[in-house]
A = this chain, B = another copy of it.
Amino acid sequence: MNIEIIHIVYLIASVTFILGLKMLSNPKTARRGNLIAAGGMIAAIVGTILLREEPVSPIIYSLIFGAIILGTIIGWLTAKKVQMTKMPELVSLFNGMGGACAALIGLIEFPNIAAHFPGKLGVVLAGMLIGSVSFSGSMIAWAKLNGTLKNAIRLPKYNILNTVILVGLVGYAVYIVFAQDYSLTHLYLLFTLSLVYGVLFVLPIGGADMPVVISLLNSFTGLAAAFGGFLYDNQVMLTGGILVGSAGTLLTLVMCKAMNRPLYSVVFGAFGEAASSSTSNGPQGNVTEISASDLAVQMNYSSKVLIVPGYGLAVAQAQHVVKELETLLEERGVEVAYAIHPVAGRMPGHMNVLLAESNVDYDKLKEMEDVNPEFAQTDVVLVVGANDVVNPAAKTDPNSPIFGMPILEVENAKSIVVNKRSMNAGYAGIQNELFFKDKTNMLFGDAKKVLSELVNELKNLD
């Protein structure tokens, strides 16, 4: 009887996973979706333990509960305490835990299965192998994001090496299954090899590509869980694992696409070559990019947005789309205004001419002196094709050709997004340290094109 009810529980849990993922792909429902999936997970775990028909020794029960309670406390605290910026590495860490769990299951079950159900041996090994790779790979990814491991370490000809190891790994596992040679030595050797492969797989990859790698390892772990489900004929593990495996793979592809990097370069470790291209001749370090869709969400959930137009707005003839952006944001209850620098553009009043053409209300145009104190209360400043007029060098660098010119003090805003086509300089021909600030994100591309995308993403948000 219990054993039958557990199937219903599993079914429900599987459905919550599907719904959860679905809701997670929409900003409006994402949070609820996560909770729903979590609810399903709790039901599945509790059901597995409680709906057991055979008697179980109390020692085992207490061990299980002990492990769960301990895990819950540690997991909860770590997750709650971590800083916002450290979250990706935490995800990698947790992913590694899942992989390790799968690997351990394989290690434990191997002798058992070898003895009783040799037909499922392949399944056990596959789960263990993938789990181990995912574990060790995630650990390396974590260490990289963490800063413990700083550089991409590349053995000579690492591409060939990795492929050889992978082929060997799979061949070895197939050999074990078909040769029916169930010695534990083989098992441990395979385990070790898998761990090594995981390490070698991630080591050569640059830090900027870690999110893609984590997503890939994530879908590996899903696959490992699915093998577990196959092993125990357990539907919730099977469906949960496959779901993550397929969704994770798609997500990896989507992320690759967003980064303009084909998947094969991910799989074959040809990572990181282009990773440092975002810095230009300017010496000041790295810039962070933001995508139009991320910016759309950020703006949608802001209370106050200031737009700083510059000469690039004129070059791109983006005045109409900037007006559309304003209208959309205002419809969503966001306060929008324009901060006009007196010398923005190439003629006095250049911005006025443009914005009047697209019927921007005169009241929305703020003069520099009036708007400077407002930046501190601004959630997002969107700099559209302006450069010199927001260059802090005007205040800080006496050798700069623009030294002494008053500027728009956008750095005081909570977040700054700069749209321009490249890292090229503006009229004064100097680099702008604003672009390299932590709070600043770059939105590269022609203003008209990129703002149209932004407008579209905003429209898609509801």
Q: How far is the CA of A323 from the CA of B317 in the complex (A)?
A: 13
A323: which of B320, B323, B359 is its contact (CB, 8 Å)?
Answer: B320
Q: How far is the CA of A357 from the CA of B359 in the complex (A)?
A: 9
Q: Are A358 and B456 in contact (CB under 8 A)?
A: no
CB distance from A290 to the nearest CB of B (A): 21
Which partner residue on chain B sits nearest A324 by CB separation?
B320
Which partner residue on chain B sits nearest A317 by CB separation?
B359
Q: How far is the CA of A230 from the CA of B357 in the complex (A)?
A: 66
Q: How far is the CA of A76 from the CA of B320 in the complex (A)?
A: 52
A459 in contact (CB, < 8 A): yes
Q: How far is the CA of A288 from the CA of B420 in the complex (A)?
A: 46
Instruction: Give A382-420 as 1s and 0s: 1 = Cβ < 8 Å from B's Cβ atoms.
Output: 000000000000000000000000000000000000000
Q: How far is the CA of A323 from the CA of B320 in the complex (A)?
A: 10
CB distance from A330 to the nearest CB of B (A): 15
Q: How far is the CA of A323 from the CA of B456 in the complex (A)?
A: 17
Which partner residue on chain B sits nearest A320 by CB separation?
B320
Q: How far is the CA of A444 from the CA of B363 in the complex (A)?
A: 33
Instruction: Give A348-367 as 1s and 0s: 1 = Cβ < 8 Å from B's Cβ atoms.
Output: 00000000011100000000
How many identical subunits does the complex contain?
Answer: 2
Besides A320-B324, A320-B359, A456-B459, 7 new A-B residue pairs in contact (Cβ under 8 A), listed by A number: A317-B359, A320-B320, A320-B323, A320-B358, A357-B357, A357-B359, A456-B456
Q: How far is the CA of A459 from the CA of B324 in the complex (A)?
A: 16
Q: How far is the CA of A121 from the CA of B303 in the complex (A)?
A: 62
Chain A to chain B: the 10 pairs with minimum beta-carbon distance, closest first: A320-B320, A456-B459, A357-B357, A320-B358, A320-B323, A320-B324, A317-B359, A456-B456, A357-B359, A320-B359
Q: How far is the CA of A28 from the CA of B357 in the complex (A)?
A: 37
CB distance from A453 to the nearest CB of B (A): 10
- CB-defined contacts of A320 to chain B, threshold 8 Å: 320, 323-324, 358-359
10 sampled A-B residue pairs with Cβ under 8 A: A317-B359, A320-B320, A320-B323, A320-B324, A320-B358, A320-B359, A357-B357, A357-B359, A456-B456, A456-B459
Q: How far is the CA of A358 from the CA of B319 in the complex (A)?
A: 10
CB distance from A213 to the nearest CB of B (A): 29
Instruction: Give A300-341 as 1s and 0s: 1 = Cβ < 8 Å from B's Cβ atoms.
Output: 000000000000000001001001100000000000000000
Q: How far is the CA of A323 from the CA of B324 in the complex (A)?
A: 13
Which partner residue on chain B sits nearest A328 by CB separation?
B452
- CB-defined contacts of A323 to chain B, threshold 8 Å: 320
- CB-defined contacts of A317 to chain B, threshold 8 Å: 359
Which partner residue on chain B sits nearest A453 by CB separation?
B459
- CB-defined contacts of A459 to chain B, threshold 8 Å: 456
CB distance from A318 to the nearest CB of B (A): 12
CB distance from A319 to the nearest CB of B (A): 9
Which partner residue on chain B sits nearest A357 by CB separation?
B357
- CB-defined contacts of A357 to chain B, threshold 8 Å: 357, 359
Q: How far is the CA of A409 from the CA of B456 in the complex (A)?
A: 36
Q: How far is the CA of A401 from the CA of B73 in the complex (A)?
A: 84
CB distance from A140 to the nearest CB of B (A): 37
- CB-defined contacts of A324 to chain B, threshold 8 Å: 320
Q: How far is the CA of A320 from the CA of B355 in the complex (A)?
A: 13
A window 271-323: CB within 8 A of B: 317, 320, 323
CB distance from A19 to the nearest CB of B (A): 15
Which partner residue on chain B sits nearest A448 by CB separation?
B327
Q: How far is the CA of A324 from the CA of B359 in the complex (A)?
A: 15
Q: How far is the CA of A155 from the CA of B63 in the complex (A)?
A: 71
- CB-defined contacts of A359 to chain B, threshold 8 Å: 317, 320, 357
Which partner residue on chain B sits nearest A459 by CB separation?
B456
Q: How far is the CA of A456 from the CA of B324 in the complex (A)?
A: 13
Q: How far is the CA of A358 from the CA of B357 in the complex (A)?
A: 7
Q: How far is the CA of A359 from the CA of B314 in the complex (A)?
A: 14
Q: How far is the CA of A358 from the CA of B358 in the complex (A)?
A: 7
A window 74-101: CB within 8 A of B: none
Q: How far is the CA of A137 from the CA of B376 in the complex (A)?
A: 66
